[in-house]
Amino acid sequence: MSARLTAPNLQLNELGKIRHFLTLEGLKQHHLLEILDTAESFINPNTDEIKKVPVLRGKTIMNLFFEPSTRTRTTFEIAEKRLSADVASLDIATSATKKGESLLDTLWNLQAMQADMFVIRHAESGAAHFFAQHVAPHVHVLNAGDGQHAHPTQAMLDMFTIRRHKGDIYDLKVAIVGDVLHSRVVRSQIQALSILEAREIRVIGPKTLMPTHPEAMGVHHYDNIEEGLQDVDVIIMVRLQNERMKSALIPSEKEFFKLYGLTKERLALAKPDAIVMHPGPINRGVEIDSEVADGPQSVILQQVTYGIAVRMAVMSIIMSNAAQLAQHKAEQASLELEMASADDTDGKENA
Amino acid sequence: MKELDIDVNALITRICEQLQSQDILAKSPKMIGIRTGGEWVAQALHQQLQLTDPLGVIDISFYRDDFSKIGLNPAVKPSDIPWEIDDQHIILVDDVLFTGRTIRAALNEIFDFGRPASVTLVTLLDRRGCRELPIQADAVGMQLECSQTLKVSGPDPLTVSILDQTEESA
Amino acid sequence: MRLMIKNARIIDPSQNLDRVTHLYIARGRIAGIGDEAPEGFSADQEIDATGKWLLPGLVDLKARLGDPGSNFAGNIASETKAAVAGGITSLCCPPDTSPVNDSQAVTELIQRRARQAATAFVMPVGALTQGLEGELLSGIYSLQQAGCVALSQADRPIQNSLTLKNALEYAVSHDMVVMLRCEDQKLKNNGVAHSGPVSSRLGLPPIPPSAETAALARDLILVEEAGIRAHFSQISCARSVELIAEAKKRGLPVTCDVAIHQLHLSEMDVMGFNSLFHTSPPLRSLEDKSALQMGLKHGIIDAVVSDHTPLERDDKLLPFGESRPGISGLETLLPLLLKLVNENGLDLMTAVRSVTQTPAAILGRNVIGSLEIGNSADLCIVDPQATWTLEEERMLSEGKNSPFIGWEFTGQVEQTFFQGRPVFRNNPI
């Protein structure tokens, strides 16, 4: 039964290549490097511009946003259009899809409109897995953020940014500061960093914003930012959502900034060439001081540009893998046919 | 299988002579090589012709018309054209002209960068008789028959071997 | 109709009986056990059960039957058929029906439908508070008069401590066991999976063990104060086992049960986001699982239940957190228990007792779950050697939501008798 499929094999095809892009968990280093290398090829080395290419001409990509996010949707749309795909975006109110049947009906209806790929954002962890389990075999699912689970393209663009500045992820010390517990981006970043063999991953913040078992995620927890930032190469700041104050996880933005805000003085504790990242949009004076956000070590705006190239890379790799798999199957089939007819002849000779 | 080694330098010189007999060199042309073999040939030509503008390189992986059959070339690298294409006279260089599909892809990509004044096509080797598109080179290092398969290696030294299929099948 | 079941290994914990002999049934009741037939007994029919086990019909303290209402799949007719296929002949149906069983009318409706189905003995459990809202008390006396065997809040524990204190003190004079599930809604905080490494990695909203243990600690104190006999339903944490053990040591009249799936599954099974593993309480850690197994072995956990929750296909066809929790468990209660006997060294007598004698005693009804002479002839014959695989197509419950589909079992119910009548016979393919 399909229900027994587990996360990693659901997103890989028979040749071990990416079929759906749901989470980084279970992917190998070569999968991630292929994405980073391919993303590189979309960027003009002199101008950092991203040119339109006709790779996905004739393919239809649908962006299904069950949880509205104009920013993420826009970067996906731009990436899809730069690949020359046909693009349709739908904001779907979850209230309209409360019952299971109608949620899948929505999906199957859109699938019937000749969709080749769904880019899905949903407020429920595991939603992308759910859709991937129920789409037709030729349709691909790309997770654009599901609940608190994963946001793999965002994490990959962060890796891309780090690699552009540091040459390699291997052996880097990375500190992630803020709300780790509720962040799907951080979960994916941690997975990406471990697959790419970062030397050390630290998470910094109060215990109320940390997952119960950080060690299960392969990270070290620091509740003191001064200790946590010592000698790191990369600092990733996480956006603090307002709801965290309402649910009594932290007292106030002011106190959070006093304890965990990234200031010039704290930045000085990291390596002198450390870079500062933030998935945006930033809360100035809450997670990060303006002076740091706009300072020379900040790479926040580049992340946005690279996001387009990385998403283009993921989508073209998925479609490329599908083409190669189809070709492989066709070759296998003709080979089997040949062998079958060879067997026939043998039989006759023996007779 | 018989391997025939070809003197690449002689072919490069032959191409330069052909280009000199045309009026393209008077128009301060800019050169683009098609990755990977075309880039090597272009480097040699660029040097011999002493062109002043840096050499451009295009990777046509994203422009191939067989994506749905073979997918993406895993070694794809960014195209690098370090100058504006608009209104320039372009010398487009490839190693082997065969079906013409690579040149079609390269032309499409060039036109995505801008509108050149003209494009002159140069190829080190031309396998005649296998063309699937109406594309011919303006300068050719050596003409071959379609049945002859080739192996180009480079960049330094740039060598071409002909793998003679006729013997193999005999 | 007189029936003789010959040469069976008869296992009845209520009589400390485990030997190969014959069992005699007359007029729907147990007429005798032994090598000699009771005086004047002549069998109309004989069943040769050589090599087979004969157990009292199982007693399940919690099985939802989907009747009345449409909030679950199936109905009393379909689900009692599933029950007897699993060897269960007596079952308590929790009050989370639609409408809620907080009145004589609903209790009687359930009993009427059960009598019509005539497949198994259905014992309604009445709601402790009206509509299970946790605010106003139900008519406990009326529910008892109508035939409710216990009171509970199903899966909606009373959050307000004062209301619970009042409910317990009011119920104490009615001599009915109160079944409590312990869950602090605020600590649960819309969680869907055990707070542990798996929920951390998958980003599933976590349910800390304290959601159960803090509520259990409160409930134990209120139970002690009220002096009521209380039964704790579906505990899931190692710490809960300790709390119950301490309470028993203090001499409190408390008992508890565990859902059978908690003894086999853990948070690790949630890794693939498979909504069939979405349960309430959630599947806990491996340490919790082994503490529950030990608790059963050592008698701290008294009973094992199916916590049968038959759901429609749509209920599970949703992302994990949006799917409805629950497992369709009637048909796997005994097989999973025997699996613990075969693979985990659980003593067979303890296993059988946990689904026969003790649940019957918890309800204060010693006439069920026992093969004593004079009791209703509710029993099942098990082939201990048969190996089989649970298949969705062969499940009798209308709820096909079982994570055990595809599991292989050794030991299969071959025949079930209810009031001396055959109500189930396994037909091998």
B112 chain-A contacts, CB cut-off 8 A: 51-53
Amino acid at C284: R
Number of domains in chain B: 1
Contact C203 A216 (CB under 8 A): no
pLDDT of A7 strictly over 60? no
A73 is known as an active-site residue: no
The closest CB to that of A324, out of B59, B70, B77, belongs to B70
Whether A99 is catalytic is yes
Give the pLDDT of residue C427.
Answer: 79
Q: What are phi and psi of A40, to 5 degrees?
A: -55, -40
Q: CB distance from A236 to chain B under 8 Å?
A: no
- What average pLDDT score do residues C271-298 get? 97
Q: What is the pLDDT of residue A13?
A: 93
Which residues on C lie below 8 Å from A124 (Cβ)? 318-322
Closest CB from A34, A40, A52 relative to B78: A40
- Helical (H) or strand (E) element with B120: strand B118-128
For this structure, is A82 an active site residue?
Answer: no
Structure tokens at B130: 């296998």
CB contact under 8 A, A125 and C205: yes
Q: Identify the band that residue A46 occupies on the pLDDT scale cut at 50, 70 and 90.
A: confident
pLDDT surpassing 60 at residue A6? no
CA distance A322 to chain B (A): 8
Q: Which residue of B has its CA nearest to A327?
A: B69
**Chain centroid, CA B28 distance in Å:** 19
Interchain CB contacts (distance < 8 Å): A and C? 95
Q: B76 in contact with A at a CB cutoff of 8 Å?
A: yes
Confidence of residue C175 (pLDDT cuts 50, 70, 90): confident
From A3, A104, A125, residue closest to C321, measured CB to CB: A125
Q: For all residues of chain A together, what is the average pLDDT?
A: 89
Q: Which residues contact C17 (CB under 8 A, 6 or more apart)?
A: C10, C11, C33, C371
Q: How is residue C32 written in tokens?
A: 């005798």
Model pTM greater than 0.80? yes
Are A and C touching by the rule of 3+ CB pairs within 8 Å? yes
DSSP assignments along B4-59, one per residue: EEE-HHHHHHHHHHHHHHSSGGGG--EEEEETTHHHHHHHHHHHHHT-SSPPEEE-
Q: What does the pLDDT read at residue A92?
A: 84
C392 contacts in chain A (CB < 8 Å): 1
> Which residues lie closer than 8 Å to A127 by C-beta, 6 or more apart?
A66, A120, A146, A147, C319
B130 to chain A nearest CA, in Å? Answer: 24
**Chain C residues within 8 A of A100 when measuring between CB atoms:** 313-318, 323
pLDDT tens per residue across span A179-202: 999 999 999 999 999 999 999 999
Split at pLDDT 50, 70, 90, the class of C1 is: confident
Is the torsion defined by CA of C206, C209, C210, C216 positive or negative? Answer: positive
Residue B170: inside a domain = no
Of A249-258, C101-110, C258-267, C289-298, the one with minimum mean pLDDT is A249-258
Q: Are there at least 3 beta-carbon pairs closer than 8 Å between A and B?
A: yes
Residue C242 above 90 pLDDT? yes
Q: What is the pLDDT of residues C75-113, one digit of tens each?
A: 999 999 999 999 999 999 999 999 999 999 999 999 999
Predicted pLDDT of residue B168: 43
Confidence band (pLDDT; 50, 70, 90) for C298? very high
Asked if A328 has any chain B CB less than 8 Å from its own CB, the reply is no
What gap in Å lies between CA A111 and CA A106, rounded to an integer?
9
pLDDT tens digits for C125-170?
Answer: 999 999 999 999 999 999 999 999 999 999 999 999 999 999 999 9
Q: Rounded distance, CA A48 to CA A51, Å?
A: 10
Chain A residue with Cα closest to C319: A127
pLDDT of A95 > 70? The answer is: no
Residue spans of alpha helices (H) in chain A: 7-11, 29-41, 70-82, 100-112, 127-134, 152-166, 184-195, 225-228, 243-246, 253-260, 264-267, 290-293, 300-350
Burial of C85 (0-12, 13-18, 19+ CB in 10 A): buried
Quick check: is B71 in a domain?
yes
In a domain, B136, yes or no: yes
Report residue B4's pLDDT band, with 50, 70 and 90 as the boundaries: low
Does A212 touch chain B if contact means CB atoms closer than 8 Å?
A: no
Task: Give the span between the Cα atoms of C295 and A302, in whole angstroms.
Answer: 57
Q: Which residue of B has its CA nearest to A317?
A: B72
* B27 in any annotated domain: yes
Q: Does residue C41 contact residue C24 with C-beta atoms inside 8 Å?
A: yes
CB of B89 closer than 8 Å to CB of B30? yes
B62·A327 Cβ contact <8 A: no
Could you tell me what percent of chain A has a pLDDT over 70?
A: 93
pLDDT tens track for C310-324? 999 989 999 999 999
DSSP letter assigned to residue A124: S
Count the neighbouring beta carbons within 10 Å of the beta carbon of residue C408: 11
- Cβ count near C251 (within 10 Å): 8
DSSP B72-98: --TT----B--S--TT-EEEEEEEEES
Note whether B touches C: 3 CB pairs or more under 8 A.
no
Q: What is the pLDDT of residue A98?
A: 55
Q: Is a pLDDT exceeding 90 seen at residue A280? A: no
Do C319 and A130 make contact, defined as CB atoms within 8 angstroms? yes
Considering only the beta carbons, identify the residue of B62, B70, B80 that sits closest to A53: B62
User: Angle at which helices A152-166 and A300-350 pack, to 10 degrees?
Assistant: 110
* pLDDT for res A209: 92
Please determine, for residue B167, whether its predicted confidence score (pLDDT) is greater than 50.
Answer: no
* Residue B102 belongs to a domain: yes
Q: How would residue C429 be classed by pLDDT, with cut points 50, 70 and 90?
A: low
Partner-chain contact A324 B112, CB within 8 Å:
no
Numbered residues of chain C with Cβ closer than 8 Å to any chain A Cβ = 195-206, 208, 271-276, 313-323, 392, 405-406
Instruction: For residue A174, give the 3-state DSSP assignment.
Output: strand
Segment C240-267 mean pLDDT: 97
Chain C residues with CB inside 8 Å of A126's CB? 202, 204, 273, 319-321
Of A311, A295, A222, A224, nearest to A259 by C-alpha is A224
Instruction: Kindly determine whether residue B69 and residue A34, on different chains, have CB atoms separated by under 8 Å.
Output: no
Band (B1; pLDDT cuts 50, 70, 90): very low
User: Would the CB atoms of A7 and C405 count as touching at under 8 Å?
Assistant: no
User: Distance (Å, rounded) from C-alpha C193 to C-alpha C179?
Assistant: 24
Structure tokens at A128: 């992308």
Q: What's the ipTM?
A: 0.88
C-alpha span between C66 and C60 (Å, rounded): 16
| Domain CATH for B73 | 3.40.50.2020
**B72/A316 touch (CB, cutoff 8 Å), yes or no:** yes
Residue pLDDT, tens place only, A288-311? 999 999 999 999 888 888 999 999
Digit-coded pLDDT (tens) for A161-177: 999 999 999 999 999 99
Note whether residue B66 is domain-resident.
yes
The predicted model gives C117-123 an average pLDDT of 97
CA torsion sign for C193, C197, C201, C205 is positive
In the 3-class helix/strand/coil scheme, how is chain C assigned residue by residue? CEEEEEEEEEEEHHHCEEEEEEEEEECCEEEEECCCCCCCCCCCEEEECCCCEEEECEEECCECCCCCCCCCCCCHHHHHHHHHHCCEEEEEECCCCCCCCCCHHHHHHHHHHHHHHCCCEEEEEEECEHHHCCCCECCHHHHHHHCCCEEECCCCCCCCHHHHHHHHHHHHHHCCEEEECCCCHHHHCCCCEECCHHHHHHCCCEECCHHHHHHHHHHHHHHHHHCCCEEECCCCCHHHHHHHHHHHHCCCCEEEEEEHHHHCCCHHHHHHCCHHHCCCCCCCCHHHHHHHHHHHHCCCCCEEECCECCCCHHHHCCCHHHCCCCECCHHHHHHHHHHHHHHHCCCHHHHHHCCCHHHHHHCCCCCCCCCCCCCECCEEEEEEEEEEECCHHHCCCCCCCCCCCCCEEEEEEEEEEECCEEEEECCCC
Tell me which of C184, C307, C315, C383 is the catalytic residue. C307
Q: Do C200 and A103 touch (CB under 8 A)?
A: no
Nearest-angstrom CA–CA distance, C61 and C306: 8
Chains that touch A (3 or more CB pairs under 8 A): B, C
Number of other CB atoms surrounding residue C398 within 10 Å: 20
| B71 touching A (Cβ < 8 Å) | yes
Q: Please list, residue by residue across A146-185, b when 16 or more beta carbons sit within 10 angstroms of its beta carbon and e when fewer do.
A: bbbbbbbbbbbbbbbbbbbbbeebeebbbbbbbbbbbbbb
Pick among C286, C322, C400, C402 to test the A interface (most A CBs inside 10 A): C322
Which of A35-39, B139-143, B166-170 shows the lowest mean pLDDT across its residues?
B166-170
Res. B149 pLDDT band, cuts 50 70 90 = confident
Q: For residue C364, is it left (φ>0), alpha (ψ between -120 and 50) or beta?
A: left
Q: What SS3 class is residue A15?
A: coil
pLDDT in tens, A127-183: 999 999 999 999 999 999 999 999 999 999 999 999 999 999 999 999 999 999 999
Q: Which of A28, A30, A52, A71 is catalytic?
A: A71
Q: Nearest by CB to A324, from B71, B109, B113: name it.
A: B71
Interface test with B, best of A17, A35, A38 (most B CBs within 10 A): A38
Query: Is A51 a residue whose pLDDT tops 90?
Result: no
Q: Which of A93-107, B61-75, C176-190 has the least mean pLDDT?
A: A93-107
Domain that holds residue B71: 7-148
Cα A3 from chain centroid (whole Å): 24
Nearest neighbour of B69 by CB, restricted to A46, A55, A327: A327
* Mean pLDDT along residues C406-411: 97
Biggest CA–CA distance in chain B, Å, is 51
> Domains (ranges, CATH) in chain C?
3-55+374-388+401-425 (2.30.40.10), 57-363 (3.20.20.140)
What mean pLDDT is predicted for residues B82-106?
A: 94
% of chain C exceeding 90 in pLDDT: 97
Cα–Cα distance list, A143 to A123, C148, C312 (Å): 12, 50, 27
Whether the per-residue pLDDT at C426 is higher than 50: the answer is yes
Q: How far is A303 from A189, CA to CA, in rounded Å? A: 14
Q: Is residue B18 part of a domain?
A: yes
> Is A320 within 8 Å of B71 when comparing Cβ atoms?
yes
Tell me which chain C residues have a C-beta less than 8 angstroms from the C-beta of A211.
200
Q: What angle do CA B2, B3, B6 make, to 5 degrees?
A: 145
Report how far Cα A53 is from the mean position of its chain's Cα atoms: 22
In the predicted model, what is the mean pLDDT of chain B? 88
Average pLDDT over residues C291-301: 97
| Residue B124 vs residues A344, B22, C269: alpha-carbon distances, Å | 48, 17, 62
Residue A345 pLDDT: 54
Catalytic residue among A151, A173, A244, A266: A151
Whether residue B140 lies inside any domain: the answer is yes
Residue A242 pLDDT more than 80?
Answer: no
Chain A contact set for C208 (CB, 8 A): 212
Q: Say whether A334 sits in a helix, a strand or coil.
A: helix
